[in-house]
């Protein structure tokens, strides 16, 4: 049985864990939420890199993970290259805004991207956008909208603030480009408010996130690893760890994934 670490700045990565649980039954998951430092999108690249390295080392040393899913767009953008250099023997799967799938889905090439300021300001995302624009046989128009505070509101399950910020940022996207027909959810927190965002965007706009694609990629990576230990035919509940209040993570896992499990402190 393989053990996969799943890491996010907070509870948003549970949207990726949800897809992983559906794609990889019989796999052991250790979910680490750095909620005491969430959201990463409003922190410096150096802070994000240092936190990512510390938690990866902990997951390896204490939980013996066979692979790591960095279920955070900001951590992927700012830290994954350095992380792979420090851990060359560990398969690491990252997430990034689904610009390429959105470009394929869009009918008119006008795409909006909702994400944290840290993600949208990264060189990695800018390079991805530029490659797609240059390679596309038709014009592509990407409108980036930073969503300051939205991930934090989702982290706190602050419903009034979630609604207010969602309205503000969707309206800003529509003002930037009224022709947008596809919107990328560029933060793993955002799928948990997809219904609100879809209602604000309108029925003609397609919303895209990365959870299923990341889960499929993780399955492909695990298939290349040598078999170790005994097989497991029963699904094992994920181990939930948080640097913030563990009960908040457990409540989020119950609310969004239907997992009736407790959570423990990430650090002693």
Domain spans in the chain, listed from the N-terminal domain onward: 3-95+211-265, 99-208
At which residue do the structure tokens 């996130």 appear?
A: 209
- What pLDDT is recorded for position 179? 98
* Three-state DSSP state, 178: coil
Question: Splitting the chain (268 residues) into consecutive groups of 10 residues, what average pLDDT does each group show?
Answer: 95 96 96 93 91 97 97 93 96 95 96 94 93 97 97 93 98 97 95 96 95 94 80 75 96 96 93
Among 154, 165, 7, which Cα is nearest to 95's? Answer: 7
118: left (phi > 0), else alpha (psi -120 to 50), else beta?
A: alpha
Rounded to the nearest 5 percent, the helix, strand and coil shares of the chain are 50, 15, 35
Q: How far is CA 124 from CA 17, 50, 60, 78, 95, in A?
A: 23, 18, 26, 8, 11
Structure tokens at 199: 């209602």
- What pLDDT is recorded for position 41? 82
In the chain, pLDDT over 70 holds for what percent of residues?
A: 97
Options 6, 16, 24, 72, the catalytic residue: 72
Mean pLDDT of the chain: 94
- What pLDDT is recorded for position 229? 55
Among 1, 6, 3, which Cα is nearest to 215's? Answer: 6
Strands (E) located in 1-140: 3-8, 28-33, 67-70, 92-94, 110-115
* Total Cβ atoms within 10 A of residue 77: 31
Dihedral sign for Cα atoms in the order 257, 259, 262, 266: negative
| CATH architecture, range 3-95+211-265 | 3-Layer(aba) Sandwich (3.40)
Give the model confidence (pLDDT) of 60-94 as tens digits: 999 999 999 999 999 999 999 999 999 999 999 99
Domains 3-95+211-265 and 99-208 share a fold: yes
Is 72 labeled as catalytic in the residue annotation? yes
pTM of this prediction? 0.90
Protein fold of 99-208: Rossmann fold (3.40.50)
Is 147 labeled as catalytic in the residue annotation? no
* Three-state DSSP state, 70: strand
- What pLDDT is recorded for position 230? 53
- What pLDDT is recorded for position 232? 54
- What pLDDT is recorded for position 228? 63
- Say how far apart CA 166 and CA 173 lie, in whole Å: 11
Options 187, 197, 201, 214, the catalytic residue: 187
């Amino acid at each position: 049985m393989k053990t996969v670490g799943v890491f996010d700045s907070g509870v948003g990565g549970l949207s990726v864990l949800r897809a992983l649980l559906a794609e990889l039954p019989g796999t052991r998951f250790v979910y680490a939420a750095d909620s005491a430092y969430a959201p990463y999108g409003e922190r410096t690249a150096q802070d994000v890199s240092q936190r990512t390295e510390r938690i990866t080392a902990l997951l390896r040393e204490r939980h013996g993970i066979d692979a790591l899913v960095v279920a955070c767009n900001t951590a992927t953008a700012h830290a994954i290259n350095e992380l792979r250099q420090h851990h060359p023997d560990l398969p690491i799967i990252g997430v990034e805004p689904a610009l390429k799938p959105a470009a394929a889905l869009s009918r008119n090439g006008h795409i909006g991207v909702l994400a944290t300021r840290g993600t949208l300001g990264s060189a990695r995302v800018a390079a991805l956008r530029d490659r797609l624009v240059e390679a596309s046989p038709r014009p592509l128009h990407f409108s980036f909208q930073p969503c300051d505070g939205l991930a934090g509101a989702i982290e706190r399950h602050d419903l009034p603030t979630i609604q207010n910020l969602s309205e503000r940022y969707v309206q800003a996207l529509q003002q930037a480009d009224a022709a947008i027909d596809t919107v990328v959810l560029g933060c793993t927190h955002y799928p948990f408010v997809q219904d609100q965002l879809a209602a604000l965007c309108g029925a003609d706009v397609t919303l895209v996130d990365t959870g299923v694609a990341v889960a499929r990629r993780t399955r492909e990576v695990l298939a290349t690893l040598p078999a170790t230990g005994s097989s497991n035919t029963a699904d094992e509940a994920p181990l939930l760890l948080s640097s913030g209040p563990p009960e908040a993570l457990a409540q989020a896992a119950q609310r969004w994934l239907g997992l009736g499990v407790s959570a423990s402190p990430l650090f002693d």
